[in-house]
Amino acid sequence: MLTNSIQLIPASRFTVEQLTAIYNQTRIDYLVPMPMNARRLQEYITAYDVSLEHSLVAMQGEDLLGVAMLGIRKNRTWITRLGVLPNIRRGGVGQALMTGLLENTARLGISFIMLEVIKNNIPAHQLFLKLGFREVGELLILRRPPVLTPTEPVIADAQRLEDDDARRLIRRGRGTMPWTNQSETFFNIQDVCGLTVTLPDDSRGWLVYQRQKFTLTRFAYQTESGNPVHVAQAFLSHLHSQYPRLDTHLENIQINDPHLPAFYAMGYVESFRRIEMWLGDPPPE
């Protein structure tokens, strides 16, 4: 057991390169490989409001043992990128890091904490339950590969939006979304675009997304009136008719999302699932 000799150091005392190195070492044998480089980790920190001052690195003497990061937004925090070196797992390092982040959250005066754990990562799942987290749902990670034949768009009045006009759409109440898909994320990232659709029967809705060089990602969407499946078929068909050669990666789509049948019909496939867990109750919007 390492518990008595573990030191928890603020992650702000390390460079992003050092944090990337320890993170990658903890994920060598991970259930779903998620390697990082320093640029991507910095983008992650910025997009998700990760506070390195409140994030932690576990050490024993001069040895780095693990890392865990804390995102901070109004009245809520998010635990992410928890990792422990494979050869010392079940020695108390993960629990020490988690306890440290819970204490940092309490010092901020915040009582609502969110996290996700990959489904079937039983040791991590059991640790979070032990610390008082409860399951609130399953989340899907979806991918749609590029296609050679462009998608035929559904008949609809589709209007493209850029930058601030697109971001304005996500100010509207969408409930307590997974951290990655919350409105703040879209105000932190670049290359945000949007699409509004109105169908002949006056059904209407919108989609906001991030368009990267080779990838479409980070979707936020809403049906304002009409059948969510029909509205999603409209905005997805217009999106993919415009970008047929771009890969699409979506994170943390709720399993009970009424738009999902349209995603599957459009060729999206499930990569894996996460379990969303909360500690405390979400504050009113």
**What is the predicted pLDDT for the residue at 4?**
66
**What is the predicted pLDDT for the residue at 150?**
76
Which CATH class name applies to 3-111?
alpha beta
**What is the predicted pLDDT for the residue at 28?**
85
**What is the predicted pLDDT for the residue at 117?**
97
Query: CATH number of 142-272: 3.10.110, 3.40.630, 1.20.1630, 3.40.50?
Result: 3.40.630
**What is the predicted pLDDT for the residue at 91?**
81
Q: Where are the domains of the chain?
A: 3-111, 142-272
Which residues neighbour 195 within 8 Å (Cβ) at sequence distance 6 or greater? Answer: 158, 159, 160, 161, 206, 207, 208, 209, 235, 238, 239
pLDDT category at 34 given cuts 50, 70, 90 is confident
**Do the domains spanning 3-111 and 142-272 agree at the CATH topology level?**
yes
Give the whole-number percent of the chain exceeding pLDDT 70: 98
pLDDT category at 93 given cuts 50, 70, 90 is very high
What's the average model confidence in pLDDT over 21-36? Answer: 86
Mean pLDDT lowest among 164-168, 232-236, 248-252, 269-273: 164-168
Mean pLDDT of the chain: 93
Encode pLDDT of 54-91 as tens digits.
Answer: 999 999 998 899 999 999 999 999 999 999 998 888 88
Mean pLDDT lowest among 89-103, 167-181, 217-231, 251-265: 167-181
Give the whole-number percent of the chain exceeding pLDDT 90: 83
The better pLDDT of the pair 35, 241 is held by 241
Encode pLDDT of 162-185 as tens digits.
Answer: 888 999 998 766 788 999 999 999
**What is the predicted pLDDT for the residue at 151?**
78
Per-residue pLDDT at 198 exceeds 70: yes
Asked whether the beta carbons of 166 and 210 are under 8 A apart, the reply is no
Encode pLDDT of 117-131 as tens digits.
Answer: 999 999 999 999 999
